[in-house]
Chains A and B, each alone.
Chain A
C-alpha cells in the first residue's frame, strides 16, 4: 500500500471535537456522524516567484476544518454530528488507494483537491460523491462532466466571464493576451478568448510568454525582468488592458509597471477574478476572514474558501434534509431546494445541467476589492449568476 500522510494531529483533533460535542436537542441524537472525506494531492512545488505570500502547506484543509466546526455548532441544535477524515497524497499514485480506503470505511462524500485527470478517475469509483475544490477545468463541467461530481470552485469560464463583464462595463475593449506555457495557462487563455467574444471585447494581440522568470531574485534581477517586459510589449497594437494567464504565479506580476505603454494588468495577476480574496469584507465576510485567521494564523485563500464552502454545502444539505445519510445528503444537493450562503451577498446553488455551484465572482486587486460580477445590467431569465460560465443552452454536459 502506498504511504499516506494523513494530517495526523488534526485527525485526532476532529475525533476529539466529535466526542466533546454536547448532546443535541433534536430528534437524531443517536444517529451516527456524517463522515466527510478530504483528499488532497499536494506535490511539493518549487519556490514561487514572490516570497510575500508563500503558499501555505495546509492550504485548503484549514478551510475544511473551519467548515467542520461551523457544521458541528449547527449540528448541536439538530442532533447531527459531523466528522472529517483528512488524507494528503504527495504523489499521484497515492490518490486512488487513499480514496478506496475511505470508501472502504463507508465514507461517500469526499471533498477533493485534485487535478482534473485524477478527479475523473476518482469519480469512476462506485459510491463516491465528490466535491471538487481544486480543478477549474471547463471540460469537467462539459464533455467530461459526471453526475457524482459537484464543482464548488468556479470554472475558468466563470472567472474570465466575470473579468470580461467588468472590462465591458469599463469600456476597456481591446486586450493584449499573454499566455504562459503551462497547460492551465493555455486553458485560462482559451477561456479568456471565449469570454472576450461573448462580451464584445477584442483581443488585438495574443502572444505566448516564454521567458524564464528565475532571474528575478538575483541582484539586479529587476533590470533583466524590466528589459524582458519591455521587449515583450514593444510594438503591440493599441490595447486597453494586458491580460495575463499564469496560473502557477510565476511571471504574471513581472509585467505590471513594466509595459511599454502604461496599461493595467488583469487576469491571473493584477486585477484578478476569484472566488475569494483576503481583501473581501462585504456581506459579513469580515466575520469569516476573522474566524479563519484566528484558527489558521493566516489569511484565507481561494482554496481554503472552496474547502470551507464544500463543508458548509454538505452541512447545509444535512440540516435541511434532516439526514446524515450520505445518499440523502447527495440527493438534497441536487434538489431545487438546496441553497447555501457564502458571504458574497447571494444564495448559492448548483446548476442542474452541470453540477456547478453558481456564485458571484470577486474582482480583487492586491489590496482592495475592485468589483463583483455579475455586473449590473447583464440580464438573465432566471439568475444573473448564470451569465457567468456555461449556461444551460451552451452546456456540453450530458450526464446530469
Chain B
C-alpha cells in the first residue's frame, strides 16, 4: 500500500539523524565512557578510561574522543571505531574541561587545581603553552572562527578572553559567582556565561568585552539556592538557549532574541551538561545524582526517555 509506505517514510525522516548517531557520556565516578546508540537509546559499550573523567570533546571528523581524566592528570584519546584508548596526551594537572580549536590540533584544557589553561597539540602530543588564569578554571568556549577561547574561573568569578593567536589574555570580565560554562553564539558576536552560585547567565559582547545582559531564573516551589545554571546548548537555529539548572533538576529554555525564560523542563537529578542531537530534534542531559541521561523531545518540549548510564554522568557529546 503506497499510502502506508509514504506514512512510514514520513515517520522515519525526522528520526533518521537521531537514529544514526552515537551518544557518549563520561561517568565521573566510574572512570568510564558510556556509549549509547541513538536509535535504540541503549548503552552499547562501556570504555574504561583514566580516573575522574569529566569534560569530553569530539574531534571534528568524529574519529577521536578526547577525555579529560582529572585524577590521572592526562587527556585520554579514545578511537571511536575500535573504542580503545589509543593515546594519552599531556594535559597539565587535573584537567576538567577542554575545547578543540577549529584547526583540529590545538586542544585548550582547563587545569582546575593549577589555575592554568594548557594548550596541547593533539597530533604531536606535546604541551604548546600554559596560560595563567583565575582560581579553578573550568568553562572553555571557543569562538566559531577560532580566534578567541573564553575560560571561566570558578573562584575568581571571571571570564578570561584568550587570543588564540598570541596566547595572551586580552580581557577579564567579572560575572556572577562560580562561572561554569562559556558558549559562543554561532554568529561569533557574543558569548554566554553561566554562573552556578550567582544563579544567572551573563551575555558578553565581543565588540567591547562588556556584559550586555543578565538573565535570572525563578521556579515556583524551588528554593532560589537550588537554581544553579551550569551546562548550555543552542537549538539548531540558535534561537533558543537550553540551560541546565543543576539541583533544580530542570532545563531552562531561553529565547535568545528577547532573553526571556520561556519554559522549565523537568529532567533527572542534578542536571549538569547538555548536547543536541545531530538532527536538532532532541536534547540529551547528563544527570549526576540520578545517574541517567534524559532525552528531551524539543518539538514536544518534554522528556521522552530516561536512560541509566554510569556513576555520576558528567559530559555528553553526540557523534553524527
Contact = CB atoms under 8 A, between A and B. Distances in A.
Interface of A: 22, 25-26, 70, 73-74, 76-78, 284, 287, 290-291, 294, 312, 316, 319-320, 339-341, 345-347, 360, 376, 383-385
Interface stretch (B38-46, B59-67, B76-84, B128-136): B128-136
B177 interface: yes
A73 B247 contact: no
Contact of A341 (B158, B174, B197, B224): B197
18 contacts: A73-B115, A73-B134, A74-B134, A74-B135, A74-B155, A74-B157, A74-B158, A287-B136, A287-B154, A290-B113, A291-B113, A294-B113, A345-B197, A345-B226, A345-B228, A347-B199, A376-B223, A383-B224
Q: Which of A22, A77, A290, A345 neighbours the largest number of chain B CB atoms within 10 Å of its CB? A: A77
B197 A77 contact: no
**The 4 A-B residue pairs with the shortest CB-CB distance in the complex, in nearest-first order:** A346-B225, A77-B172, A74-B156, A341-B197
Nearest to A78: B172
B292 interface: no
Nearest to B225: A346
B178 interface: yes
Contact of B177 (A70, A339, A384): A339
A339 B225 CA distance: 13
Nearest to A379: B223
A388 to B, nearest CB: 13
A332 to B, nearest CB: 13
Nearest to B154: A284
Given A74-B158, A345-B197, A347-B177, 17 more contacts: A25-B169, A25-B172, A26-B172, A73-B134, A73-B156, A74-B134, A74-B155, A77-B158, A77-B169, A78-B172, A284-B178, A287-B136, A294-B113, A339-B198, A347-B197, A347-B199, A383-B225
Contacts of A340: 177
B156 A77 contact: yes
A127 B115 CA distance: 35
A140 to B, nearest CB: 26
Contacts of A312: 155
B112 interface: yes
Contacts of A73: 115, 132, 134-135, 156
A171 B169 CA distance: 55
Contacts of B112: 287
B319 interface: no
Contacts of A341: 154-155, 157, 177-178, 197
Interface in B109-125: 112-113, 115
A216 to B, nearest CB: 38
B250 interface: no
A26 B132 CA distance: 15
Contacts of A316: 157
B157 A77 contact: no
A319 B174 contact: yes
Contacts, number: 71
Interface string B155-198: 11110100000000100101001100000000000000000011
Nearest to A69: B135
Contacts of B226: 345
A368 B100 CA distance: 38
Contact of A319 (B157, B197, B225, B247): B157
A316 B270 CA distance: 27
A361 to B, nearest CB: 13
Contacts of A70: 135, 155-156
Q: Which of B154, B158, B178, B197 neighbours the largest number of chain A CB atoms within 10 Å of its CB? A: B197
A77 B154 CA distance: 14
B219 to A, nearest CB: 14
B177 to A, nearest CB: 4
Given A25-B172, A284-B154, A319-B174, A76 B132 contact: yes
B18 to A, nearest CB: 33
A287 to B, nearest CB: 6
B164 to A, nearest CB: 18
Contacts of A22: 132
Nearest to B177: A341
Given A339-B198, A345-B197, A284 B136 contact: yes
A109 B42 CA distance: 58
B228 A320 contact: no
B134 A347 contact: no
A340 B199 CA distance: 12
A395 to B, nearest CB: 22
A384 B225 contact: yes
A6 to B, nearest CB: 26
A379 to B, nearest CB: 9
Nearest to A342: B197
Interface in B207-226: 223-226
Contacts of B177: 339-341, 347
A398 B260 CA distance: 42
A74 B155 CA distance: 8
Contacts of B157: 74, 316, 319, 341
Nearest to A22: B132
Nearest to A291: B113
Contacts of A74: 134-135, 153, 155-158
A316 B156 CA distance: 8
B97 to A, nearest CB: 13
A320 B174 contact: yes
A346 B135 contact: no
A341 B136 CA distance: 13
Nearest to B247: A345
Given A73-B134, A341-B197, A384-B223, A287 B113 contact: yes
Contacts of A339: 177, 197-198
B96 to A, nearest CB: 9
B319 to A, nearest CB: 29
B301 to A, nearest CB: 27
Contact of B197 (A287, A290, A346): A346
A384 B221 CA distance: 12
Nearest to B171: A25
Nearest to A383: B224
Contacts of A290: 113
Contacts of B178: 284, 341
B144 to A, nearest CB: 25
A230 B247 CA distance: 44
Contacts of A384: 223, 225
